[in-house]
Amino acid sequence: MVEHGDIRVVHRGGSKINFREPVITNDSRFLLCASGECVKVFSTSTEECIHDLRGHTDLVTGVQLKPSNHLQVYSCSADGTVRLWDFTDGILIKTYVIGYPVYSIFTSANHEGIIFIVTPVLCDKRSELFQLVAVHLPQSGDQLVETRELSAVLSDVGSNPAAIAFGRGGEYIAAAKSQQLEVYFFKKQKSYRFFLKEDNKKGRKNTFTCVACHPKDDCIATGHEDGKIRLWRNFNHKKEYTYSTLHWHHSAVSSVCFTPEGTNLLSGGVESVLVQWRYNQESQKDFLPRLGAAITHITVSPDGALFCTSHSDNKITIIQSCVKVSAVIQGLVKGEGVRTDLMVDPRSKALVLNGKPGHLQFYSLQRDKLLYNLDIVQQEYIHESGLQQFEVVRAAFDASGNWLATVEERKQDVAELELNLKFWAFDEQTQSFVLNTTISAPHEARITAMCFCHAADSQTSMLVSTSRDGHFKAWQLAPPAHTEDEGPSWSCDFVGAYHRLVPECCCFSADGSLLAVSFQEVVTVWSPSSWELLTTLSQPPGAVRDLCFGRLSCSKYLLGTNMNNLLLCWNLLTCSLEWSTSMDTSLLLADPLSENMAAFCCQSGCTDLFVFKPNEPRPLFSHKAVCSGKVTRAVFAPREEMLESCEESSQWLNCSQLFFLTQYTDLLTFTTKAEEDRLMASSKQLVIDDSVAMTPFYLLLGKHRQQQDTQDTLSSLSAERTPLPQGSVAIKELLQTPAHVLPSTSFLCSMFVQSLLISVTDSREESKYAEEEMQSEKEEEDSEGEMESRTSRLEETSLGATETAAPPLTKAQVRELRRVKKLDHSWLAGLLDS
């Protein structure tokens, strides 16, 4: 069992974007946020991810703009490095090796060449003590720089980066931890500490949660566990400090932030309301309610034009300073816990799990983007802690992706449990799932497992659900009983039980001819066609936890795990135990595209992974300690394109990728070296692609011609781009260019439509256009000057960026564009969505 050096665990796709405070660039065009092992650069206007800054080998724990150069950004990571990036081009400029895991980073314009980082005191990951360290960045031309000048500033700080902030002009730094606020003045090299009482009278907590400093005045705003905000002043005195209290939040304030001019204070918390306080007139406040989920961070752009709030449901909301939401960047929602299994939607190849309360989310792992949410519960969610509400707890797809079954439950008391089983049919027209059947109280107790019959050729769909009430039920799509019914609906076909034991798991064989249901220690094998108990397998003692049929060449095997830490493999032909091995398997998973099985074993606090074939004695791959804690959710996601890896150890990753969730609900996956190299390469190419000037007109008009000329060179450049079977270059252009670099949709639509139209125009239509043109002539004249200047400016930028100048538009062309813009193209939107 050799550790395979070229395969490593990475955060890829579905990482938290709310882990740390994002950063808005000086021109408010980009939003940078730490996401897994990379820094993502989003466009603030189009919500699209422009590129990733890849290079860190562990979680990125902080992003800060370089104060002296607003086009560069620092990122720090738990891998012990701080990296400096050019974020517009995505180029790694420098790597500073710190040597200790870094938990957050702070910079200040007043401290040139110094960054402040938080590192654990004992260089031990588990330790709870953190210190704030000033790092003098050595001036060196090398790419990789070792930093030696480290000096501790504050010895005892919290690991929460929101609880540390630089004061006015970087003259002091304020750090809060539990009930203590410490202010360190750099000039005097003196720190003052202020303590709050353990608890105030009403038993609420006084603990500090976050800190912000006013940019102009010496005023520190602190948020507290009990929802209060305190504004500290006069804190350069040990005793005569003073504070005022603002109280609107009813539970902990998770973030406070001053606007760059210091006129407003923003705060947010569990209430999902952004509160804007007027500085020095705190009785006046504005609210932005209904932001969807608890606010975890608040950031303001350096010019104060944009606010941005991170939310607990892995979402970043971009808000214009007039307190209006302008964009939402949504990551994979992990909420309070993943209740459903991880699944892959057979149609969209999206990862499916429960997301927002009462919803199933469809998340594209390839594009790292939330596709859509499916409202399962269809009830208003009430934001209140402690309230029991319906939650989606199980979901299953059938093989073709035509049917989706969901289970939602609400547990009010120990006694009464409300359960609903819902069947959703995929509607080709709306391209979404439509509720077909709702079965309330399908079982008397909690449903433990649910699976569809995956047989591809079977005519009837079948779902089996097992429950703690001791029964398993088979549900079948039945033709409508009455003629007036519109379509087929689902009903119970068979109720099975075995010696009043509680069924725990169920599994269909690949061809759908066998159903295995485990009843504690006994595995029963049924024939779904006749509902006949074929055999029982019960040799080793211990309740069965997981069941899995082998696939393809191994379809004669049934694998299971049990409570006695055994991994079992039965041969269904002989109905006997083929082999067993002792390991504490927390999850057993079969790759749907190969014979491979993955087993996650929990060992001394860490989880190991074994990938094996049931018929081979040696594991294909093993990885010790993929993560700490137990892994209970994982999925094999089929790849869009096969990897051509020939190395034996990484072959199992060729057709599908294994994603798993750690106990901290981090989504991790495995990557091979080859794959990583390829990704790096492609991101480099993308950068080059991007660096070409992107005026809309150039894109639409100029580039096509060029592209046609240099078709061959371009195609070689973008090797991974597969040309669409049909459609012109314009369509391709439209569909493949990132949205943020495209002109507004109204422009695009017209061009798109024109490219589709047959170029014979009706004369009547033309006259109508002419009429419209006449009408709009007047207003056009008004805005002529502005128009002119805009085009010329655009021209300039294009000139500045590239050598090849785009042909300037004539006035007639501009008019044409405007005319086209006026047309109604709403029908197209629907078409584009599909």
Partner 1 sequence: MNRYRFKGPQRGSRCFPACGCGSEESLVTVDKKNVKMGEFKVHRVRFFDYMPRAITAMAFNSRYERLALARAGGAVEIFNFADNYFQEKVIPGQDSRAVEALCWVDQRLFSAGLNGEITEYDLENLRPRYSVAAYGGPIWTISSNNQGTMLAVGCEDGTLKMFEILEDRIQFQRNLDRQKGRIISLSWHPSGKLIAAGMMDMIRVFDTETGHATHRMLVERGVGTCKSKEVVVWSVAFLSDHNIISGDSAGKVQIWDGFTGTLVKTHLVTKWDVLSLSVSQDQSSLIAGTSEGTVIQFQFISPTVDQQEKEWVRTRTFKNHTHDVRALAHTETAVVSGGMDTQLVVRPLLDKVDKNTQESALRKIAFPHRSLVCCAKKAGLLLFQFPEHLELWKLGESDGHGKPGDSLPVKRKPEKLIHLKRKGVDHICCSALSPCGGWMAYSTVSSVRLYRLQYDNNNISITKVSKLPKDLCSAHQLCFSSDSSKLFASSIHSSVVVVALNQLECKHLHTLKPKSGSRQPVHLLFASEDGKWLATANTGCEIHVYNLDKLKLHCTVPVYSSCPTAIAIHPVTGNLVTVHADQQIFEFSLAQKEYTEWSRRLQKRGLHSLWLERDTPVTHIAFNPRNPAHIILHDMFMFCIIDQSLPLPEAKTVLHNQMMLRSLPEPERIRHSHAFKICKNFQHLLCVSLLEDHSLVVVERPLMDIMSQLPPPVRQKKFAT
Q: List residues near partner 1 by CB under 8 A.
A: 168, 171, 216-219, 233-234, 236, 239-245, 250, 280-284
Between CA 405 and CA 415, with CA 409 as vertex, the angle to 5 degrees is: 140
Closer to partner 1 by CB, 239 or 500: give it: 239
CB of 241 to partner 1, least distance (A): 7
CB of 234 to partner 1, least distance (A): 5
Residue for token digits 């994603």?
659
- Cβ atoms within 10 Å, residue 753: 14
Q: Which two tokens stand for residue 831?
A: 């078409």
Q: Compute the distance between CA of residue 223 and CA of residue 797 in angstroms, rounded to an integer.
A: 44
Q: Compute the distance between CA of residue 589 and CA of residue 570 in angstroms, rounded to an integer.
A: 16
- Which residues are 535's β-sheet partners? 525
Closer to partner 1 by CB, 282 or 493: give it: 282
- Which residues are 532's β-sheet partners? 527
CB of 232 to partner 1, least distance (A): 10
CB of 268 to partner 1, least distance (A): 18
Residues in the chain: 834
Closer to partner 1 by CB, 232 or 621: give it: 232
CB of 218 to partner 1, least distance (A): 5
Closer to partner 1 by CB, 282 or 303: give it: 282
CB of 246 to partner 1, least distance (A): 10
CB of 153 to partner 1, least distance (A): 18
- Cβ atoms within 10 Å, residue 325: 16
Amino acid (one-letter) located at 728: S
Of 72, 43, 39, residue with least CA distance to 53? 39
Amino acid (one-letter) located at 144: L
CB of 172 to partner 1, least distance (A): 8
CB of 355 to partner 1, least distance (A): 29
Q: Compute the distance between CA of residue 98 and CA of residue 133 in angstroms, rounded to an integer.
A: 11
Closer to partner 1 by CB, 125 or 239: give it: 239
Closer to partner 1 by CB, 171 or 521: give it: 171
Q: Which two tokens stand for residue 391?
A: 């939650």
Alpha helices in 613-719 (DSSP H): 673-691, 696-697, 703-709, 711-717
Closer to partner 1 by CB, 277 or 519: give it: 277
Closer to partner 1 by CB, 218 or 816: give it: 218
Q: Is 203 helix (H, G, I), strand (E, B) or coil?
A: coil
Closer to partner 1 by CB, 276 or 518: give it: 276
Q: Compute the distance between CA of residue 36 and CA of residue 60 in angstroms, rounded to an integer.
A: 6
Closer to partner 1 by CB, 196 or 474: give it: 196
Of 723, 724, 725, 728, residue with least CA distance to 756? 728
Cβ neighbours for 505, distance < 8 A, ≥ 6 positions apart: 448, 449, 466, 517, 518, 544, 545, 546, 547
CB of 139 to partner 1, least distance (A): 32
CB of 233 to partner 1, least distance (A): 5
CB of 240 to partner 1, least distance (A): 5
With 0-12 / 13-18 / 19 or more C-beta atoms within 10 angstroms meaning exposed / middle / buried, residue 162 is: buried
Half-sphere exposure of 200 (CA within 13 A, CB side): 12
Secondary structure string (H, E, C) spanning 295-346: EEEEEECCCCCEEEEEECCCEEEEEECCCEEEEEEECCCCCCCCCCCCEECC
Closer to partner 1 by CB, 260 or 702: give it: 260
Amino acid (one-letter) located at 368: D
Closer to partner 1 by CB, 235 or 390: give it: 235
Closer to partner 1 by CB, 168 or 468: give it: 168
Closer to partner 1 by CB, 171 or 689: give it: 171
Between CA 320 and CA 289, with CA 50 as vertex, the angle to 5 degrees is: 25
CB of 161 to partner 1, least distance (A): 25
Closer to partner 1 by CB, 281 or 385: give it: 281
CB of 262 to partner 1, least distance (A): 10
Can you give the C-alpha Rg of the chain in angstroms? 30
CB of 216 to partner 1, least distance (A): 7
Using CA atoms, how far residue 789 sits from 783, 792, 796, 831, in Å, is 10, 5, 10, 35
Using CA atoms, how far residue 730 sits from 137, 702, 726, in Å, is 48, 11, 11
For CA atoms 554, 556, 561, 564, give the dihedral sign: negative
DSSP string, 449-511: EEEE---SS-SS-EEEEEETTSEEEEEEEE--SSTT--S-EEEEEEEEESTTPPEEEEEE-TT
CB of 543 to partner 1, least distance (A): 47
Half-sphere exposure of 286 (CA within 13 A, CB side): 12
Closer to partner 1 by CB, 219 or 343: give it: 219
CB of 251 to partner 1, least distance (A): 12
Of 380, 350, 386, 356, residue with least CA distance to 368? 350
Closer to partner 1 by CB, 225 or 504: give it: 225
